[in-house]
Amino acid sequence: MEQIITRFPPSPTGYLHVGGARTAIFNWLYARHMQGKFVLRIEDTDTERSTQASVDAIFEALQWLGIDWDEGPYFQTQRFDIYREYIQKLIDSNQAYYCTCSPEQIDIMRQKAMAAGDKPRYDGSCREKGLDKSDKAVVRFKAPLTGTTVVEDVIKGHMVFQNDELDDFIICRSDGIPTYNFVVVVDDITMNINTVIRGDDHVMNTPKQILLYKALGSPLPTFGHVPMVLGNDRARLSKRHGAMSVTAYRDMGFLPGALINYLVRLGWSHGDQEFFTRDELIDVFNLENIGRSAGIFDLDKLLALNAEHIMAASPGDLVDPLKPFLKKAGIEIEEDDYILQVIETLQPRSKTLEDMAEAALFYYLSDISYEEKAARKFLKPAALEPVKILTEKLAALEDYSHSNLEEVFKAVMDETGLKLGKIAQPVRVALTGRTASPGIFEIIAILGPNRVIPRLKKAIQFIENRES
C-alpha cells in the first residue's frame, strides 16, 4: 500500500485559530494512524500580509499542541523557481497562455456575461493569440470548454462541476507571483502529497486544482473536505464564540490534549466515546467517521472536557504547565513531593490550570487573608474554644497522618460536643481564607505543623479581637 502523506499549509497572515488547528490535527492524526508522513508548508505568497510574527505564532501553537512534522517547514516564497518551471511546462504544452487584457476590459467582459444571464467571467480573448511574455501579461490556464470535472470526496461524496462554468483562471500574475490554486497543486505534486484533508471552504477550488493535476499528468490525491466549525448560533465561528488563537487557550489554562480531544470530536466520532487521550486518537482515527455536518463550538463543553483531562493526568505531568500560572502570583515551584500532593488535592475541583493555580495559593502564601463573608460567618466567638483546643492538640501531634488527624478532630468533638462541620469550617477558613477547599485532613497533612499552627493562632487572635 502506498504510504499516506498529508500536509498542513497555513498562511502566516495571523494566529492559528481553532478551525485551522482542527485541520492540522486531522491531517496529523491520519498520518500517524497510517504510519505515514505529515508535511508542514507555509503558504506565504501573500507577501503583503504574511509576517514572521505569524510564522512564529503558528510554530508555537503547533508545538504546544504536540503536532510534530516529518518534512518541512517549506516556504512557498522559497520555491518560485519550481513554480516557474511548471508554468513553462503548461505554456509549452499549449495548456496555458499569456493574456494582456486590462482590468477594465475584463470588467466589460463580465458585465456582458451577466447581461446575457451567464456567470461573470473572462471570455478567452487571448486564448488563441499565441502572445509572448511581457511586463503586463498574466498567465491563464486553458480550461476545458465542455464536459464535467468530478470530485470524489471521502467526506462529501460524489460532486460534479460543469467545465463551462470555469473560466480560464490566472495561474501567474503580471508581477510574476503565481496564484494560490496553481502553487498548491505544484507543491502537493512535488511533495508527494496523496491525501488532502481541508476545510470545506476550499470545495470550489478543487475542480480547478483537479484540472491542473490532469494537465500536469499527475495522479489525483484523495480529497476530504471537512465541514466548518460554527458558533452555537450556527454562524461562522468568530471571536465572540471563542475563536481565539490556539495559544490563548493555553494561556487560559487548557491542556493541549483536551483541546485536541475537543476539536477532533467536533467533526468526528468513534461510537459514543467522548474522552480520548492522544494515543487513543492515533489508534482509532479514520476519515470514514468524519461527519458531514458542521461542528458547533461550545466553550462550556471544552471546559468540562478539560476538567476530565486534568483529573486523568498524573500530578507530575501537570507541574510544568502549572508553573506559569503560579508564577503570575509570584510563586516559583519545582517538582517535589509538596507540589505533587498539592496538585492531587486540586485535580478534582479544577476546570483549568488557572483555576488550579488560584486554588493552590493558600498552600504557598506566608500570610493568609480571609474572605470577608467567610470570616464573618465562621471566625466568630463560638468557634474560639474548639479552634484553641484543636491548636493545642495539633501542636502536640508529631505525625500528621490522616488517621491521627481524624483522632484529634474526634477528641475535639467529644470535648466540645460539636459536630465535625462546626469545627472543620472555622479551621478551613483559618487555613485557607475561604469556605471551599480540598478535604480538611488532606490540607492539614500537606501544610504540616509549621504552617498549620501559626495560621490557627492567627485565627484565634482574629476572633479574640472581634470579641473585644
What are the catalytic residues? 239
Burial status of residue 89 (CB atoms within 10 A of its CB: 0-12, 13-18, 19 or more): middle
191 closest CA partner among 22, 31, 50, 14: 31
Cell of 286: 479514520
Cα–Cα distance measured from residue 107 to residue 260, given in angstroms and rounded to the nearest whole number: 46
Residue 146 and residue 63: Cα distance in Å, rounded? 47
* Contact of 295 with 268, CB cutoff 8 Å: no
Report d(CA 377, CA 422) in Å as an integer. Answer: 11
In three state form, how does the secondary structure of 256-295 look?
A: HHHHHHHHHHCCECCCCCCCCCHHHHHHHCCCCCECCCCE
Is the separation of the CB atoms in 22 and 264 below 8 Å?
Answer: yes
Q: Using alpha carbons, list the distances in angstroms from residue 396 to 201, 360, 449.
A: 71, 27, 10
Measured distance CA(335)–CA(319) in Å, rounded: 6
Say if residue 207 is preceded by a cis peptide, omega within 30 of 0.
Answer: no
Look up residue 374 and give its three cell numbers. 467567610
Task: Report the alpha-carbon distance of residue 196 to residue 400 in Å, rounded.
Answer: 60
